[in-house]
């Protein structure tokens, strides 16, 4: 799959300094340069009714490609707006960013995924997972067989995840052994898929107060399992194996009640808490460090071609039941309150709530995904 760099955006007018980070390469895409979508040639035995139909995003005219590039440039502009207060010559660049608790070199989730000092390496993480499984098997013998077959019998996390996902997704017509071999092949072919899995696992452990063991997320949190299953389907989609990717998507929806189109672009460090009813459409883009709760919908608008779904920036928190419709953008580091309906762009580092959602705070200093607080910042005036 060919990907072209995003057009440079004009410098935004904002009180916040620009970060030097740009949109990660895995989120850069130009559907005008996707793998060729083939059609049956015209001829004596072929008319328009027999032409092979391509997916909506593959049927782009030159004008639509230009519009898409413009949209991606706007996303690039939004994701460049970092929360980090910086210093120049010993003085703050912007008084609006003055935050004594945030030193200039501190990392912020709205800058995109970055491993943190407290994060475990892959080998350390696998050792920790095995230790937790052994402890649980010793304390609860009824779980020993399950823990052994899922974790303790495997030499590495790739084979453990392949076994777990294959058993979750298998059906009478999609055999578990075939799926396990397929998932193992994906992990062997593309290390980024496993790296994203580990980032997601760290994100769940960091942000979900109900998660105090890594084995909890791997074995019992269907939001984590659904995202990892999506990553397998997305790899198949990128390889041109769209029929199998769509079949896997259907099975993921049945098993986890999470419907993510395999063509959607999703970054690293994703947490979907509870997960039931989450829908992410075909042309949606989700940045790094995004947290969302159950019944979140990133839906399309209209039947036109090109981008029809939302773009969610790095470090965004989407509360329970949030619906974002159409080719709108939710800027990096923003928070959308539970039950809100977003139908227009939300700038970076803002708080929005309501139907339709309206912006009630701008230039927030706190990163929403750090505290995962769905209530604070929404009530401006309160009388008893």
pTM of the entire predicted model = 0.74
Q: Taking residues 226-231, what's their average pLDDT? A: 98
Per-residue pLDDT reduced to its tens digit, 279-297:
999 999 999 999 999 999 9
Bridge partners of residue 311, in order along the sequence:
285, 329
* Predicted pLDDT at 270: 97
CATH of domain 264-383: 2.160.10.10
Structurally, at CATH architecture level, domain 116-257 sits in Orthogonal Bundle (1.10)
Per-residue pLDDT reduced to its tens digit, 5-26:
434 333 343 444 333 334 444 4
Q: Which helix (H) or strand (E) segment is 314 a member of?
A: none
* Predicted pLDDT at 226: 98
Q: Taking residues 310-335, what's their average pLDDT? A: 96
Residue located via tokens 């779980």:
143
Map out the domains of the chain as residue ranges: 116-257, 264-383
Q: Give the three-class secondary structure for 59.
A: coil
| Continuous H helices in the chain | 62-79, 122-139, 144-147, 157-169, 176-189, 191-207, 214-220, 222-238, 242-256, 368-371
Model confidence at 37: pLDDT above 50: no
Residue 193's closest CA among 236, 234, 231, 245? Answer: 231
Q: Which helix (H) or strand (E) segment is 329 a member of?
A: strand 329-330
Model confidence at 102: pLDDT above 70: no
Per-residue pLDDT reduced to its tens digit, 150-165:
999 999 999 999 999 9
Sign of CA dihedral 195, 246, 224, 6: positive
Per-residue pLDDT reduced to its tens digit, 85-101:
333 233 332 322 333 33
Question: Confidence class of residue 247 from pLDDT cuts 50, 70 and 90?
Answer: very high
């Amino acid at each position: 799959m060919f990907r072209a760099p995003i057009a440079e955006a004009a410098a935004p007018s904002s009180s916040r300094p620009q970060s030097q980070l740009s949109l990660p390469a895995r989120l850069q895409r130009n559907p005008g340069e996707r793998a060729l979508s083939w059609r049956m040639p015209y001829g004596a035995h072929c008319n328009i009714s027999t032409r092979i139909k391509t997916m909506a995003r593959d049927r782009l005219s030159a004008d639509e490609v230009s519009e898409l590039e413009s949209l991606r440039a706007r996303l690039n502009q939004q994701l460049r707006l970092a929360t980090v207060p910086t210093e120049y010559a010993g003085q703050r660049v912007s008084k609006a960013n003055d935050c004594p608790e945030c030193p200039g070199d501190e990392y912020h989730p709205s800058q995109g995924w970055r491993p943190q000092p407290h994060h475990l390496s892959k080998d350390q993480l696998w050792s920790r997972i095995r230790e937790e499984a052994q402890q649980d098997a010793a304390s609860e013998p009824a779980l020993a067989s399950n823990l052994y077959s899922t974790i303790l019998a495997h030499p590495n996390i790739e084979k453990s995840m392949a076994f777990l996902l294959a058993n979750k997704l298998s059906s009478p017509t999609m055999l578990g052994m075939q799926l396990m071999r397929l998932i193992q092949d994906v992990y062997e072919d593309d290390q980024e898929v496993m790296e994203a899995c580990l980032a997601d696992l760290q994100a769940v452990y960091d942000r979900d107060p109900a998660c105090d063991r890594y084995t909890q997320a791997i074995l019992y949190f269907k939001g984590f399992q659904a995202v990892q299953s999506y990553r397998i389907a997305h790899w198949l989609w990128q390889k041109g194996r769209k029929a199998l990717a769509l079949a896997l998507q259907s099975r993921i929806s049945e098993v986890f009640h999470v419907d993510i189109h395999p063509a959607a672009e999703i970054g690293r460090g994703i947490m979907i808490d509870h997960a039931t009813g989450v829908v992410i459409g075909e042309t949606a883009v989700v940045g790094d460090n995004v947290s969302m709760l159950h019944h979140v919908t990133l839906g399309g608008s209209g039947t036109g071609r090109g981008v029809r779904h939302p773009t969610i920036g790095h470090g965004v928190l989407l509360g329970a039941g949030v619906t974002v419709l159409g080719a709108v953008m939710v800027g990096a580091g923003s928070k959308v309150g539970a039950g809100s309906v977003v139908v227009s762009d939300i700038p970076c580092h803002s708080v929005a709530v309501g139907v339709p959602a309206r912006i009630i705070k701008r230039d927030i200093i706190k990163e929403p995904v750090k505290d995962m607080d769905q209530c604070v910042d929404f009530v401006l005036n309160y009388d008893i």
